[in-house]
Amino acid sequence: MPETDSQSPGFTPERISGGRRLLGALTARPKIGHVFIGLLVGLLAFGAVQQVRTDDDVLLDRARRTDLVQILDGVTQRADRLEEEIAEAEQMRAELDSGVDSGRAAREQAAEREKQLGILAGVEPATGPGVQITITDPDREVQPTTALAVLHELRAAGAEAMQIHGDDGTSVRMVASTHVSAADGGLSFSGQALQPPYVIDAIGDPRNLEQAIAFVPALSDRDGGAGDVTITDFSELTVDTLHEPEEAEYARPAPDQTD
């Protein structure tokens, strides 16, 4: 009897649907190797979460009572600031929805928003309450990581505009793209070398900004800080160093999504 060729034109293989494949994968008996890998990934994830929690607990355990009170005050003030921003946004929406001279209101709000974005981008000067932080660093011990930690903590505490001055008066506007690296006897901020002492002007809530510096271990007295750190509050502080924006090499504005 002649053998039947399974690849002959009259033979049609059965198609397996995606649903059946998924069901088969879910109901298949796992191999020992798969189980071992799954357990290993689970243990690593659990260990990472526990490590983060432990680091936070250690930081709070080491904090003094006055530090804990300052942390609580800072969180409360941030919550109050967010509530104010929500109220302002709701008022803005109400003005635009009222229809009473909405065109003029929209133009005014757009102009104000443009100035605010210019301040955040570092292309507009800014003035307001804030702090001036002086780091002497006589032994050149401040590392780029320490400077980045200072900027991060100030931003997290609500700093809206920042600039840093070097020993010769040269200054750099601090923006989201600012990067820090080591320089000959000092630090380089976005390619501009500065020598200590470093003076940082930061506009924001003075109390929150002052508290933020306490969370930079390399500048803390109890951790053997690098030089003296002096913080001065100002009711009116000016940040007028401007950032020269660079043209994006790859990013382009996305096209409008129209129906």
pLDDT given for residue 224 in this prediction: 44
Element (H, E) at 11: none
Instruction: For residues 14-31, give the mean pLDDT.
Output: 55
Please compute, for residue 27, the number of CA atoms within 13 A of its CA located in the half-sphere on the CB side. 6
pLDDT digits (tens, 9 = 90+) for 122-151: 899 999 999 999 999 988 889 999 999 999
pLDDT at 223 over 50: no
Instruction: For residues 61-85, give the mean pLDDT.
Output: 72
Note if the pTM is more than 0.85: no
In whole angstroms, give the CA distance from residue 120 to residue 165: 19
Query: Which candidate, 152, 127, 130, places its Cα nearest to that of 213?
Result: 152
